[in-house]
Structure 1
Amino acid sequence: MPSRHRYRKKSGKQVRSTSEKRKPSGSPTDSLPPKTPRQLVQSTIQMPSVFTFEASTPEQTAENQETEPVSEKQHCDQNQNLSQDSFSMNVSANQKDISYPSTIFNFINDASIDILTTKLSRALMLPQLQDKFAKLFESVAKDLIEGLARDIVQPLKQEIIHLRHELEMKTDDLEQYSRRNSLRISGLPESKEENTEALVMEVLRDLHPDLTASDIDRCHRVGKKNMDRNRQVIVKFVSYRNRHKVISNRRMLRQNRSSVYINEDLTKHRSKLFKLTRDLKAKHLISSTWTYDGRVYVEEQPEGVMRVILCESDLDKYR
């Protein structure tokens, strides 16, 4: 078969033209024309061998740029030689690693991420998914709030109730202490031009003969006027000793003034408790009830144990 190469004589020897000299290469693939990124990806997927990704260095780029261009005829000869050596390349393919620039695979990776991100963003914009996400968020938030209310808010609420009760009791004690020198008189006839102090002194002298007008700090009726009943009179004594002597002898009023009653000046809370204990006595659930220095007492049985009533819950055992 005649050779396709052209020869020229020089110094008695046949040598190949300089322009037709074959380009030296480290591997058969260096003489192939450059491939596009798509062709590289396709060929990479089809090859079963193991790949090693190496980034191209500036020295390799400069070396590739300094290589001489290959003529069309030389390119055909190279393709023929490559076809003849394909079998040997396939045999050695499993033993050698083929290197490709890592930038190509980074490009593919970035493109895949962009596509997945776009599809996920579009999927999240669907009304059905938005409704499901809203319901799920509402359910999780509700469970979280209920857990916080159960673990944190509820104990704090109980503590607030307890502290509030203690504060109310202490406030009631202070208010009752401020009334320790006062008494309330019920059943005194009321008129338009009455002298309240004279009426009070007339009643109190029956219980404490040595009492004088100077022992009374002040006295007046309390509440709104009512034509159907007489309003109470509150009397404040100068000293607790005179007040205590009067309240101790109040049973003497039953002899001369059976319609007049003298009681301690109680707070609103203790007045309510005393009203409840009197109702229990009327139903014969307790033996007796009374007040002393602002405290409400009950007696379950005659000559039995006396108990102090501080709140309504203390009366539950008698109901």
Structure 2
Amino acid sequence: MAAMEKSPAHSAPSSPATSENSLEGSNLKPLLSQLPSKLDLELMFSKMERSFGDKIQSLHKEVSQIGHRVQTLEEEGKARALHITNIQSLQQTHNEAILFLQRKIEDLDNRGRRNNLRIRGLPETQEGETEDIILLLTGLFNKILGRPLDTVIKFDRTHRAIRPRALSQDTTRDIICKIHHFPLKEAILQKARRLRNIKHGDHQVLIFQDLTQSTLIARRALQPITAALSDMNIRYRWVYPFALVVTQQGTTYSISTPTDVQAFQQALKLPKDTVEDWTGLPL
């Protein structure tokens, strides 16, 4: 039997893994060639650094400007606050000076009325009739003093008060008179205060000291105080320049401006009634 011939040797086929690696290697080379180099990265980071540096510098400049503006505003605010404080202090000084002048004028006006009396309740004559006020007052005052009705009283002036617009035409106007002799005027006023009921015919008559309008407003504002003093049987008096005065155990307490009210109430242990400001000034 003839010997069998050997088949020529065949190379072993390549494995699939070897083929895939070869393919991937050939595909990655173009990709790797496109990646930035170290120099590219350095240039890119350098540009970014410059860009961020410029932005940070710009931001720092803006913050610095804002800080300067805030500082300027704070300084201006402090200057305005100081200016307002100075204005308030100056206004307080002006208000005190105005009040002082008001009190001086009021005192001068009241002293010019020292001989004046205001009589309320005397009827007016009918239209067309002549009114003899001097004769009317002479009889009334002599009756109050207990003297003959025809005793002569010297008057410097006598007249009816001007009728306010709000006053009804049927309301009798007050009579204001100036008696020449001050002691006689005081005697009439004191006697009238002691009398409970002064009549002229069927008419009730009241007699007051003639005072300025500002003094009357102040006295009206202090009515809660005078009412409390009367309830506690504490004697008080009005003085010139305008003031409400109380003397107890050798100590004198007074109210001449609205700022005196609280201390006056505390010192005399009065109810803390609200008293309106009669000056019209913020003191």
Normalised by the size of structure 1, how large is the TM-score? Answer: 0.48
Query: What are the superposed Cα offsets for residues 275-306 of structure 1, whole Å, 9 maximum, x if unpaired?
Result: 244444446555355546775546599x9977
Query: What are the superposed Cα offsets for residues 108-158 of structure 1, whole Å, 9 maximum, x if unpaired?
Result: xxxxxxxxxxxxxxx9xxxxx9999888766643432222332x3333222
Structure 2 SS opposite 1:229: coil
2:80 corresponds, among 131, 145, 149, to: 145
Query: What are the superposed Cα offsets for residues 65-112 of structure 1, whole Å, 9 maximum, x if unpaired?
Result: xxxxxxxxxxxxxxxxxxxxxxxxxxxxxxxxxxxxxxxxxxxxxxxx
Which amino acid in 1 is paired with 2:213? K
| 1:1-319 equivalence runs, <5 A | 140-150=75-85, 152-192=86-126, 193=129, 194-208=131-145, 209=147, 215-224=154-163, 226-251=168-193, 253-257=195-199, 259-282=204-227, 286-287=232-233, 289-291=236-238, 297=244, 307-316=253-262, 317=265, 318=270, 319=273
Comparing both chains, which one has the higher relative contact order based on Cα–Cα distances under 8 Å and sequence gaps of 6 or more? 2
164-173 vs 248-257, which moves further: 248-257
Structure 1 SS opposite 2:211: coil
Which amino acid in 1 is paired with 2:119? I
Q: 1:247: Cα distance to partner?
A: 1.2
Q: 1:177: Cα distance to partner?
A: 1.0
Structure 2 SS opposite 1:207: helix
Would the aligned equivalents of 2:104 and 2:241 in 1 still touch at CA under 8 Å?
no
Would the aligned equivalents of 2:197 and 2:204 in 1 still touch at CA under 8 Å?
no
Which amino acid in 2 is paired with 1:155? S
Would the aligned equivalents of 1:273 and 1:309 in 2 still touch at CA under 8 Å?
no
Q: 1:182: Cα distance to partner?
A: 0.7
Structure 2 SS opposite 1:206: helix
Quick check: which has more Rg, 1 or 2? 1
The CA RMSD measured in Å over matched residues stands at: 3.9
Would the aligned equivalents of 1:186 and 1:261 in 2 still touch at CA under 8 Å?
yes
Would the aligned equivalents of 2:138 and 2:153 in 1 still touch at CA under 8 Å?
no
Which amino acid in 1 is paired with 2:138? M
Q: Tell me, in whole angstroms, the C-alpha distance in 2 between the residues paired with 1:223 and 1:205.
A: 26
Which amino acid in 2 is paired with 1:268? Q
Q: Aligned in 2, Cα 1:160/1:276: closer, same or farther, shift over 3 Å?
A: closer
Instruction: Give the length in aligned residue pairs.
Output: 193
Structure 1 SS opposite 2:143: coil
Query: What are the superposed Cα offsets for residues 220-264 of structure 1, whole Å, 9 maximum, x if unpaired?
Result: 111316334322111111121221111121135434428211111
Q: Aligned in 2, Cα 1:315/1:200: closer, same or farther, shift over 3 Å?
A: farther
Structure 1 SS opposite 2:178: strand
The unaligned stretches of length 5 or more in structure 2 are: 1-57, 59-63, 274-283
Would the aligned equivalents of 1:185 and 1:262 in 2 still touch at CA under 8 Å?
yes
Among all aligned residue pairs of Structure 1 and Structure 2, give the percentage whose two residues are the same amino acid.
Answer: 23
Query: What are the superposed Cα offsets for residues 158-204 of structure 1, whole Å, 9 maximum, x if unpaired?
Result: 22222222222212111111111111111222233333222222211
Q: Aligned in 2, Cα 1:187/1:170: closer, same or farther, shift over 3 Å?
A: same
Q: Tell me, in whole angstroms, the C-alpha distance in 1 between the residues paired with 2:242 and 2:101.
A: 18
Q: Tell me, in whole angstroms, the C-alpha distance in 2 between the residues paired with 1:160 and 1:291.
A: 27
Q: Tell me, in whole angstroms, the C-alpha distance in 1 between the residues paired with 2:155 and 2:221.
A: 31
Would the aligned equivalents of 2:156 and 2:178 in 1 still touch at CA under 8 Å?
yes
Partner of 1:38: none
Which amino acid in 1 is paired with 2:90? L
Structure 1 SS opposite 2:187: helix
Would the aligned equivalents of 1:277 and 1:289 in 2 still touch at CA under 8 Å?
no
Would the aligned equivalents of 2:246 and 2:254 in 1 still touch at CA under 8 Å?
no
